[in-house]
Amino acid sequence: MSATAAPAAVTVLELRDVFAGYGEADVLRGVSLAVGQGSIVTLLGANGAGKTTLMRVASGLLAPRSGAVLVEDEDVTARSAQQRARAGVCLIPEGRGVFRSLSVRDNLELFRPPWAERSSIERVMEIFPILGRRLEQAAGTMSGGEQQMLALARAFLSEARIVLVDEVSMGLAPKLVDQIFEILTTIASEGVAILLVEQYVRRALEIADHVCVLGRGEIVLSGTTDQISHVDVAGAYLT
Ligand SMILES: Nc1ncnc2c1ncn2[C@@H]1O[C@H](COP(=O)(O)OP(=O)(O)OP(=O)(O)O)[C@@H](O)[C@H]1O
Ligand SMILES: [Mg+2]
């Protein structure tokens, strides 16, 4: 089976035959995938399948043992996480990644890197009105959903080309998950590529253009969401 989800649009992020892991063990074994401009690729897989590991390889937090990571056709495998951030890679990590003791305003200011010229906190407040009402509140005292909104604001403020979103819906009420998915759709409609790790298969299939399922370190199922149903995905989980 083809291991590559090849979107029609310009490819923003590509992983080519990536092997990566911790210590002796390989968690990813020959993983290839591509995310096109303006498209959402959902990465599914059981707990421990290696989804977060793949996000870490893509964002430069973990060096692969072999294989390559490309951003807009440029090989960035040897580049640091910070250099990749500058190239437009934005990781929204599992567990939210906000500075809990700082105010919302200070978090937003820290998320806005020096090279981001066009992004503004005003724009973020239009997209996330809830943040505008809580600018002086300590981020750690906001609800889980509000903190997730704040974490996602980073994608706008960093002027990302590819946003890596790890388990954005974890522990959130369905209504909030809907709001967050709507925001992800807005981000994609502006031409940004999104790689989304998600546990809710049906929802993930609704929002995404492409889906990849990771199993035992390899992509075991890959294709467009027109071609792949949740039944196929369930089958892939069991392989
Ligand atoms: N820092 C680490 N050192 C050693 N092993 C690790 C480390 N991080 C993850 N692993 C192992 O790598 C494997 C893949 O972990 P990973 O976090 O990528 O899975 P995941 O698909 O994101 O799972 P989940 O759905 O539970 O978030 C697991 O067996 C995990 O125990
Ligand atoms: Mg994970």
Q: Is the pLDDT of residue 164 over 70?
A: yes
Q: pLDDT class for 7, splitting at 50, 70, 90?
A: very low
Reported as half-sphere exposure (CB side, CA atoms, 13 A), residue 27 has a value of 20
Half-sphere exposure of 185 (CA within 13 A, CB side): 13
Contact 138, 101 (CB under 8 A): yes
Q: What is the pLDDT of residue 4?
A: 52
Residues with CB under 6 A from ligand 1: 22, 27, 45, 47-53
Does residue 6 carry a pLDDT above 60? no
At 53 the pLDDT is: 97
In the reported structure, the alpha carbon of residue 85 is separated from the centroid of ligand 2 by a whole-number distance in angstroms of 20
Q: What domains are defined for the chain?
A: 11-237 (3.40.50.300)
Atom 24 in ligand 1: residue holding the nearest Cα: 47
Compute the distance from residue 47 Cα to the ligand 2 centre, in Å.
7
pLDDT tens across 181-224, in order?
A: 999 999 999 999 999 998 888 888 999 999 999 998 999 999 99
Contact 28, 20 (CB under 8 A): yes
Residue 2 pLDDT class (50, 70, 90 cuts): very low
Residue range 44-97, pLDDT digits in tens: 999 999 999 999 999 999 999 999 999 999 999 999 999 999 999 999 988 778
Say if residue 175's pLDDT is above 60: yes
N-to-C CA span, the chain: 14
pLDDT confidence bin for 99, thresholds 50/70/90: very high
